[in-house]
Amino acid sequence: MKNFWKKCKKIYYESLRFVLLRLAYICSWGGGKFYCIGDKLLTFHRHSYGKDVSGSYWLDRNAYFANNMNELHKTIKIELKNQKNFYKAQAYCDGYLYQGLGIANILGVRGSEERFDEYGLQHYLCKDMLLYDLGCNSGFLSLYCHLRTGCSVRGVDINPYMINIANATAKAFGVKNVEFFADDLNNIFVNWEQGSADVILTLATMWTDDEQYRVSLKQHFDNCLKLLKKNGVLVFETHGDVSRVDYVKAINELACERGFRLLEQKDVDCKARKLFIIQT
C-alpha cells in the first residue's frame, strides 16, 4: 500500500509539473507581463525538477546546492550586463541565458537537468572520466554532469562572459576538477592533448549562429575524434534548422568512412534536433 501511494504521489507531481511547464511556455509567448508570469512558472518547474532528480542520485543532497545563491545571481546579472555592453559578437538568446540550472534557480531556454536525463548521459560518464564540453556556453550542463557522476570537466567557449558565469557557478558549488576556458575551438583542437578525453559534448557547435566557428561536418568530426581516447564517446547534437534526415544520412556515411560506431540516435528538444552518440 505504501508503494501504491508513493506511485500516486509521483504521478500527481509529474502531471502538475507538466501543466506548469506548458502554461509557462504559453505565457512566455504573450510578452510583457505574460512573459514575466511564464518566467516565474518556468523557474519554479526547473528548480523543483532539478532538486527532485538530483536528490535521487546524491548521497548528501544539500552539499551540492550553491552556498551563496544570491551572490551567484548577482554575478550572473553583472556578466550579462557586461556582455550586452561590451561583447562585439552575437550574444545568444537576446543576451539572456541559453542554459538553465534548476538546482541553482537559474532560468534558461533549455534546462540542464532535463537535457542530462533526456540524453541519457549518466550511461556514458563516471567518476574517473574526463569530459570535454566544446562550445559549453554557461557550462551548466557539464557542471551538472560532474555533480551527477563525479566526472572531471574541461569546458570551452569563445564568449568570455559565459565562461565567467560558468566559473562563478562552479565556485559557488565548491566543486573540484571542473574548469572552463574562454578560447576559440580552432585553438583547442590544436593545443589540447590528443586522445585525452573519455567523452566529448559538442551540442549544436558545428556551425554557430555567431559565425565564429563554421566548418564542415567531416572536419568537425575529425577535430573532435582526435581529442578522444580509444573507445571514447562523442555526444553530437544537431542544429534545429537543418533536416534531421540529412544528418542521419551524412553521419551514417561518416561512420563507414571513419570506422566509428553509432551507439544511439534519438530526437531531442521536442523533436527539433537529433542527438547522436558515437564511439571511436
**Contact predicate 111/73, CB 8 Å:** no
Q: What is the pLDDT of residue 6?
A: 56
Q: In whole numbers, what is the pLDDT of the chain averaged over residues?
A: 82
pLDDT, tens digit, 9 for 90 and up, residues 217-265: 899 999 999 999 999 999 999 887 666 667 788 888 888 888 899 999 9
pLDDT score of 211 more than 80: no
Domains in the chain: boundaries: 1-59, 65-279
Query: Considering the chain, what percentage of its residues have pLDDT values greater than 90?
Result: 48
177 phi and psi angles, rounded to 5 deg: 60, 30
Question: In this predicted structure, which of 29-33, 43-47, 96-100 has the lowest mean pLDDT?
Answer: 29-33
pLDDT score of 93 more than 80: no
pLDDT score of 58 more than 60: no
pLDDT score of 65 more than 80: no
**Which of 102-111, 131-140, 167-176, 200-209 holds the top average pLDDT?**
131-140
Classified by CATH at the fold level, domain 65-279 comes out as: Rossmann fold (3.40.50)
Q: What is the pLDDT of residue 214?
A: 82
pLDDT, tens digit, 9 for 90 and up, residues 131-180: 999 999 999 999 999 999 999 999 999 999 999 999 999 999 989 999 99
